[in-house]
Amino acid sequence: MDEPGSLTGYASGQGMAELARLRYPNVFPESLGPYDLVKAVLDGQPEALAVMDEAADHLGKALLWLIFSLDPEMVVFGHPGDVLNEALLSPLRDAVLRHGGGQAQQLPKLAISNLGAKLDDTAALMAVIDLFKQRNF
């Protein structure tokens, strides 16, 4: 799982697929990829949902630190969150409330990006556009 104990190891698409293989080796094959896990979650497979809950728990703990430090109005999740939608957001909200206690009652809006799988490409393109603007071409 990427680096043991790292957030990427739990909450990235690849990390969640590896977590599924580690937690349920008799259910998920070694070849399980992120999209296979997403499909299993959306199909309501109990083991896949348990993996999603565990990943959301770790992501929720990390998100609390950001919420309490930065006090954002909204937190936007990219891909594969756009495909998972409430299958990700619901256990994530639960985790934030469970670990944050009364202080987490004023949660920022948790949203899914409409850019979906294009989010990384768009972010990379924005860096190029910014560089172009700085050079005043």
Query: What are the boundaries of each domain within the chain?
Result: 7-134
What pLDDT shows up at residue 8?
80
Better-predicted residue by pLDDT, 67 or 115: 67
Residues 65-76, mean pLDDT to the nearest whole number: 89
13-50 burial, b at 16+ Cβ within 10 Å, e below that, comes to bebbbbbbbeebeeebeeebebeebbebbeeebebbbb
How confident is the model over 74-86, as a mean pLDDT?
Answer: 88
- Give the per-residue pLDDT at 104: 64
Q: Collect all residues with Cβ–Cβ distance below 8 Å to 65 and sequence separation of at least 6.
A: none
Of all residues in the chain, what percent carry a pLDDT higher than 70? 88
> Residues 40-62: what's their mean pLDDT?
95
d(CA 74, CA 67) in angstroms, rounded, equals 9
Task: State the DSSP code for 135.
Answer: T
Residue 101 has pLDDT above 80, yes or no: no
pTM of the model: 0.78
Helix axis angle, 46-70 relative to 86-100, nearest 10°? 60
Mean pLDDT over all residues of the chain? 86
The CATH architecture annotation of domain 7-134 reads 2-Layer Sandwich (3.30)
So what's the pLDDT on residue 4? 56
- For residue 4, is the peptide bond before it cis, meaning its omega torsion is within 30 degrees of 0? no
d(CA 74, CA 108): 5
